[in-house]
Amino acid sequence: MIGRRFSGCLAAPTLVRAVRLAALSVLLVASEVLAQPPAESGIARDARSSAPLPCLHVTLLDSADHAVAHTVTDSAGTFVLVAPEPGVFRVGFELFGWERLAGPADTLRAGDMRERVYPLEFTQVLHSDADAPEDLIAALRRREGSGWRSAEAANADAPLRYPKAMVASRTSGDVVAQYVVDESGRVRAGSWRPIQFTNAEFLGALRAHVPAMRYKPARLDGRPVCELVRNQVKFDWALVPIITIFN
């Protein structure tokens, strides 16, 4: 009988201590979550093929449409962007020289993590005044901010071979192609793919030109990174081919 009373007296403080420790653990976990900055994450995919878009430049845009964070997607098209503080943010997707795509606005509190799959289709190339194309280039460079700089052509454009059949028939056309420029400034093997083209002859001419292409690689926080690039090339039978992507 005495043993039972003694045993019961030990059990109560032990239980109270366990409850207190559990409550403290919950508070510590909750405070740790609240201390975490909010973030946006997701997967960037091609809207038509559902294929992941690797090395795509992604930004976190604040309520004033300023980029407050930059990253590039991995081989599976995934990304994470950490906000500097709670607020209203959107995810922006960038192909240099093309209209930015952006997701819906999210109000993020401390510790929030929003996740989405983003089906993307870049359709609008940006145009500048023919007399001052550098104005658009300068504007796009300013928009990149201090943490990110897109890839730039590093060598003089080697002459594209204008298909003889197209010259003979006085045929003009254009090709839009997409590829990854890797950390060394070369086109990544297997990444090149056509987006649209007016003639298979022009497509073949541009494809043959790929090995000669060299870039200054994109840079993220000062280090070289890969970048998804989209290039529009116009062929005019009366002129030399003109590369119209702004790089």
Nearest to residue 119, comparing CAs of 196, 194, 50, 191? Answer: 50
Q: Which CATH number fits domain 151-243: 3.40.50.300, 3.30.2420.10, 3.90.1010.10, 3.40.50.720?
A: 3.30.2420.10
How confident is the model over 13-51, as pLDDT tens digits? 555 555 555 555 544 444 454 568 999 999 999 999 999
Is the predicted pLDDT of residue 75 greater than 80, yes or no? yes
The structural architecture, per CATH, of the domain 39-120 is Sandwich (2.60)
Buried b (16+ CB within 10 A) or exposed e, 165-174: ebeeeebbbb
Provide the 3-class DSSP secondary structure of residue 91.
Answer: strand
- Please tell me the predicted confidence (pLDDT) of residue 215: 93
Backbone angles phi, psi at 46, to 5 degrees: -70, 130
Cα 76 from chain centroid? 12
- Please tell me the predicted confidence (pLDDT) of residue 133: 54
